[in-house]
Amino acid sequence: MKKKVLIVDDEPNIVMTLEYAFRKQNFEVFIARDGSEAKIILEKALPQVVLLDVMMPKVDGYQTLKFIKNTSGLEHTKVVFISAKNKASDIEKGLNMGADKYITKPFSVKKVIGEVKQLLD
């Protein structure tokens, strides 16, 4: 069975890049442009991993992470923040809130795939 990844980002180029890379790695890929779209997909798709931007319109990454952590059926979902917020305090906040990894933009696609595979092993 294919592993499922949900990419939540409002930047089309980032979404396209990650979508292509994860499809090549034989993942089933879901896309959301913000946290409100992500909530709908999360409950239906139940992905193993969510790649989550912090700064998005409507519902941001922090609110989306809280939703994941507080929703039955998603307790084993791994969350990787991918964000331009790159200060130590930003990274610490994301990890303290329950993210499994925090990758700063710009990022290496190879690194993102490697981190995700490590989380799933």
pTM: 0.96
Burial 63-82 (b: 16+ CB within 10 A, else e): ebbebbeeeeebeebbbbbb
Where does the pLDDT of residue 4 fall: very low under 50, low under 70, confident under 90, or very high at 90 and above?
very high
- pLDDT score for 94: 97
What class does CATH assign to 4-120? Answer: alpha beta
Model confidence pLDDT, tens digit, residues 53-83: 999 999 999 999 999 999 999 999 999 999 9
- pLDDT score for 1: 81
Q: What number is the average pLDDT over the span 18-36?
A: 97
- pLDDT score for 80: 98
Model confidence pLDDT, tens digit, residues 95-114: 999 999 999 999 999 999 99
Give me the residue spans of the domains in the chain: 4-120
End-to-end CA, the chain: 15
